[in-house]
Amino acid sequence: MMLMSQSYFGLSVDNDLYFGTDRYYSSGIFLKYGRLKKKPKDSVDSQVYVSEHWTFGQEINTPSLRLTSDLNKIDYPYSGWLYLSFQKEYFQNLDFGYGWGLQIGTSGAEASLAKYFQNNYHIYILNLEPLSWAYSIPQSFLVNFDASALWGKQLNKKLKWVQENRIFVGSFRTNFSGRFGIQWGNLPGLPFFGQRLEDLSKGFALFAGTKFTLNFHDYSLTGSLFESNTSYNLKAKFFRKTLQGGLAYFRSGWRGQLMLNYTSAFITTQRINNHLYLNISLNKFF
C-alpha cells in the first residue's frame, strides 16, 4: 500500500570542503518546508497530487585564491544570495509532474550575510584566516520565476530513465537546463527530482546522470544585466555541464540523500576548469 506524507521539514547543504577545497560555488544552505495540498481522493481534475514547498536559502561563491586582495588575481567573484522561494508542484502520476516557482531575495556581501557566515565559520570552526572579500558582486533586490517538467520511463522492474527540464527567468538568474539519467532501485516515482510527498515507500535508489545548462544571465557571477554595477569585467560561460551521481534512502519517516556534482567552468577566467561539491539532504516527514 502506498503511504503519503502531509508535510515535511528538511535541511539541504551544498559544500566542497568535503574534498579539501573552498572555491567557486563553495556553499549552499537550504531550510525547507512542504505540504501536500491535494491527493487522489479529493482531486477533481487530472492534477492528482498537488504540493507546496517553501525554501529559505543562502548561496556563496568564492574565488580560488580566497585570501588575496589583488583584483588581478581574482578569477571568480565573491557573491552571496539570500532568498525565500515558493514552489508548487503538480504530479498526474508518480512518473510525471510539472511545477512553477518564485524566488525573492538579496545579493551583496553584507545584505546576504554571506561574508559574515563564511568568515565566522572559517575563523571559529575551521581555525583559518578570514577571506578577503576583496571583490564582490554588489547588493541588489532580485526576483526570479521558474517552471519545470519532470518525467520518468520504466525500463525494467528497478531501472528507469528520468528527466527534468527547468527554466529560470528573472533579475537574478535566467537559464534553461536539462537534467537526465538512469535511476535504479525500489523507490517509486522520481525521488531525485522535485520535492516528493506522493509516496513514502521504504527503500533506496541510485542515480547517475548529467545536467546541461544554457546560461543567459547570472547576477551572482557578472552583476546586473541592465546596467554595469561591477568594477571587474568577468564573463560567464554560456554552456555548463554537470556530472551527477547520487543515493536516496527512505525509512521510518526520514529520507536522506547524497548527490555528487562535478561541474565544468562557470567563468571564462577560472584557473581550475572543473569543480567538485557534494549535496547532503535530510528530510523528516509527518
Q: So what's the pLDDT on residue 265?
A: 97
3-state secondary structure of 74: coil
- Map out the domains of the chain with their CATH numbers: 9-285 (2.40.128.140)
Measure the CA angle with vertex 11, ends 10 and 12; round to 5°.
Answer: 125
Confidence at residue 225, expressed as pLDDT on a 0 to 100 scale? 84
Instruction: Report yes or no: 139 and 108 within 8 Å, Cβ to Cβ.
Output: yes
Give mean pLDDT, residues 131-151. 95
Instruction: Indicate the pTM of the whole model.
Output: 0.93
For the segment 10-38, the average pLDDT, to the nearest whole number, is 95
Task: Write out the three cell numbers for 204.
Answer: 533506496
CA distances in angstroms from 195 to 49, 134, 190, 207, listed in the order given: 12, 37, 9, 16
d(CA 190, CA 152): 7
The more confident residue out of 70 and 145 is 145
Chain segment 170-214, per-residue pLDDT in tens: 999 999 999 999 999 999 899 999 777 766 778 999 999 999 999
C-alpha cell at position 95: 512518473
Report in angstroms the alpha-carbon separations of 213 from 44, 92, 162, 217, 241.
Answer: 36, 26, 17, 11, 6
Q: CA–CA separation, 126 vs 72, rounded Å? A: 27
* Separation of alpha carbons 107 and 219, rounded Å: 8
